[in-house]
Structure 1
Amino acid sequence: MGLTEGRGPKTLWDNPAAIIRQLAPDNPVMAFAPQILRDNAERFLRGFPGLVTYAVKANPDPRVIRTLSRAGIGGFDVASPFEIDLIGRIAPKAARHYHNPVRSRMEIVHAVEAGIKAWSVDSFSELEKLFDRAPAEDCEISPRFKLPVLGAAYDFGSKFGASPELAAELLRAVAARGYIPSLTFHPGTQCSDPMAWESYIFMAARICDLAGVVARRLNVGGGFPAHRASGPAPDLEAIFQMIDRTASAAFGAQRPQLVCEPGRGLCADAFSLITRVKALRGGSDIFLNDGVYGGLTELPQIGNLGRLEVLTPEGTPRSGAPLPRVVFGPTCDSLDRLPGQLALPEDLQEGDFVIFHGAGAYSTVTNTRFNGFGQMAHLSVRTVS
């Protein structure tokens, strides 16, 4: 059944099970719970000791942007002209931080014309581009530095980030040219270890000392973990408290204003992906109607989602003992396979539904439609669980 937002007998469902019971969708469905997103925003706004911005790349759905803006998120981390313009249309009063540290000259011109005043860099070649095209007045440039990854699912430093020594040179050059000097880092995605932020913040203070510059702001990045595994949700408050204590300890009276840019940590838990079992093979393999070319694109890199729910076509839970299964997606590509195995009920049958809770980040935006698959409906629910 092909579905789009607003079609069917109602537009706000109680939960994913209600969608299954009434619509029995043949194609994947992404169920969005706006209240959970609002709750996540409130949690960050209440707990993080500084400005909370949203990393648009995680999920640029206009419903997400509008919900976050109305919930009080006043800034957005944008990584492209498309994202700059998207936020300009939907949340025109919000701050936009262009923290992709590598840009073409045309992208810089576009951003300057759009009024962008906050940038990041990790090399002198990129800094010179900004010096050439971005006026210094009220303009912030944040060198981005990197350290060895600690406690993250994968390391962003393999692509971006200067050494601390280079970051100090960049920071000194930023201040000398009359721009607002700040710093930024990213501890790595799905980072559950608060100590990662501690190491970075102390190094940020060291970089300021090396440069002889007082940083206006310190952006502590994203990396805040979502609730991906079964069991208790990540303790975000412990991370917030660690950041607060460490910033004071590291900088003292010269403590910079703090900024964070969560993507996954804000949006992931507000979505559940409803998939359907197309076939069972040999008792151990199952085929779903979605896979790594669709809403489950990032799983081979970051690991499986562990918050699973299996329902019959009538919307009732399967209760069989867990059985390790190899899970394939619908395409003809043998790479379309989830990593390792998933523990699914032994009484699983063709036509059942497997729900991946916490699937809101890097899912809809990376759906490729490869092989003609990937058609996905987007429906709203009161709760995803």
Structure 2
Amino acid sequence: MQNHSALWRNPANHLCRTTPDQPVLYLSPRVLQDTALRFRRGFGGLVTYAVKANDRAEVLANLVAAGITTFDVASPAEMAAVRAACPQAVLHYNNPVRSVAEIAAGIEMGVASWSVDEAGELDKLADVPPEAEIAVRFALPVKGAAYDFGDKFGATPDQAVELLRRVTRLGHVPALCFHPGTQCEDAGAWDSYIREAARIAERAGVRIARLNVGGGFAANRTGAAPDLEVVFDAIHWAVRDAFGTDAPQLICEPGRAMVAESFTLAARIKALRAGGRTVFLNDGIYGRLTDLRDMGLTRRVDVVCPAGCLRSGHAVSRVIYGPTCDSLDRLPDGLELPDTSAAGDYVLFHGMGAYSVAMGTAFNGYGACDVVTVDLLSGHHATVS
């Protein structure tokens, strides 16, 4: 991928001037930094960034510029990416299953906080300095997210009680953490987890230093932006009610909700078939659109012509194929595009900052995708001068 240093006005302005024939991701540093500031002002605790959502160097640099200096990393490669962007960054290694070599790398990198969800994984952290924080990760059968993270990670509450006691006996800073699941739109999920965290700490007889309420904050996929402040208020109310005056410090680790809104993807229409009801794009599920396969279609789509003007007309439900030779390279059915759409037009998928870069492949030779910096992500009537 190539990073363009020029600052363009908006995606339409860039498209009409350059008419690219490969996918383009448009990044607005302004939107990214504003989102980071929204979290920092609204959450009221330590805001970290889950690097897995998008590890582009310019993303990390803009988050640092917005005051994010602590990062949730899941691998030594992510640690290195963060250190390149901010040598003084604080690292939280919250992938609870690690090899011996990965643990050694984390110790070398100075990881400040580790998570565990099983006794054997805690044993593997024997060489971690005693002053490091170890957060016990637990899981509950709580609904409200697009998909549940508890199937893979997370101790039961009973197991968490024993792990928390062991962490304290080993002399580490004790903490608890959880993740309500990706794209969680039910503030009640955090409420349930926080109240269980208080019960776990009380049963263990341990005062936890911090409570990590995870990521899972929802991004805008329908055009109606989730009210993050409602979730923030629910978190703080539950903490006050469950822990009283002896509440732990709070941490959150947004990934999707932090970065999604700052990117728009432009994919070009290569061909229309079956009277326009079947559309072939130059990007698909092996590229930047992988997340749509798992999360479902977004409703935040526009079509612009090569001159940069917004296509209007009656919305038609389409079958969308990507550019590869694999028939599985197909989005979930039903993406609506205007009936005026034509070959050579660009389909703009908004809110595509999360997992678009991170999960894209080069299958069949279609991996190329520029990242272009724009001031604004809105505006579809470009003026050429």
- The equivalences for 1:337-348 within 5 A come to 337-348=330-341
Matched with 2:233 is 241
Q: 2:78 aligns with which of 65, 75, 83?
A: 83
1:268 aligns with 2:260: yes
Quote the Cα distance in structure 2 between the aligned partners of 1:256 and 1:111. Answer: 25
Matched with 2:127 is 133
Aligned partner of residue 310 in structure 1, secondary structure: strand
Letter in 1 for 2:50: A
Matched with 1:373 is 366
Aligned partner of residue 12 in structure 1, secondary structure: strand
Quote the Cα distance in structure 2 between the aligned partners of 1:90 and 1:157. Answer: 31
Q: CA deviation at 1:203?
A: 0.6
Quote the Cα distance in structure 1 between the aligned partners of 2:81 and 2:267. Answer: 29
Q: CA deviation at 1:366?
A: 1.1
Matched with 1:177 is 170
What are the superposed Cα offsets for residues 48-93 of structure 1, whole Å, 9 maximum, x if unpaired? 0200000001000010111001111121001100111221221122
Quote the Cα distance in structure 2 between the aligned partners of 1:229 and 1:371. Answer: 31
Quote the Cα distance in structure 1 between the aligned partners of 2:291 and 2:142. Answer: 19
Aligned partner of residue 298 in structure 1, secondary structure: helix
Matched with 2:211 is 218
Matched with 1:97 is 92
- The equivalences for 1:41-60 within 5 A come to 41-60=36-55
Q: CA deviation at 1:149?
A: 3.5
Matched with 2:381 is none
The two structures have a TM-score, normalised by structure 2, of: 0.96
Runs of 4+ in 1 over 3 A off after TM superposition: none
Quote the Cα distance in structure 2 between the aligned partners of 1:157 and 1:327. Answer: 32
Letter in 2 for 1:75: T
What are the superposed Cα offsets for residues 20-51 of structure 1, whole Å, 9 maximum, x if unpaired? 11111100000000000010011001000200
Q: CA deviation at 1:151?
A: 1.3
Q: How many residues align?
A: 377
Matched with 1:23 is 18
Unmatched 5+ stretches in structure 2: 379-385
Letter in 2 for 1:384: L
1:304 aligns with 2:302: no
Quote the Cα distance in structure 1 between the aligned partners of 2:231 and 2:268. Answer: 37
1:252 aligns with 2:240: no
1:13 aligns with 2:5: no
1:4 aligns with 2:2: yes
Letter in 2 for 1:95: V
Quote the Cα distance in structure 2 between the aligned partners of 1:148 and 1:334. Answer: 36
Unmatched 5+ stretches in structure 1: none
Q: CA deviation at 1:298?
A: 1.5
Quote the Cα distance in structure 2 between the aligned partners of 1:271 and 1:52. Answer: 21
Quote the Cα distance in structure 2 between the aligned partners of 1:301 and 1:265. Answer: 17
Quote the Cα distance in structure 2 between the aligned partners of 1:270 and 1:42. Answer: 13
Range 165-174 or range 81-90, more displaced: 81-90
Letter in 2 for 1:134: V
Q: CA deviation at 1:111?
A: 0.7
Q: CA deviation at 1:192?
A: 1.1
Letter in 1 for 2:266: I
Q: CA deviation at 1:340?
A: 2.4
Letter in 2 for 1:242: A
Quote the Cα distance in structure 2 between the aligned partners of 1:160 and 1:282. Answer: 45
Matched with 2:65 is 70
Letter in 1 for 2:244: G
Q: CA deviation at 1:306?
A: 1.5
Quote the Cα distance in structure 2 between the aligned partners of 1:196 and 1:379. Answer: 37
Q: Aligned residues: percent identity?
A: 53
What are the superposed Cα offsets for residues 265-313 of structure 1, whole Å, 9 maximum, x if unpaired? 1101000000000111102110100000000112111111221111111
Letter in 2 for 1:135: P
Aligned partner of residue 348 in structure 1, secondary structure: coil
Quote the Cα distance in structure 2 between the aligned partners of 1:86 and 1:289. Answer: 29
Quote the Cα distance in structure 1 between the aligned partners of 2:36 and 2:243. Answer: 27
Quote the Cα distance in structure 2 between the aligned partners of 1:204 and 1:350. Answer: 54
Aligned partner of residue 309 in structure 1, secondary structure: strand
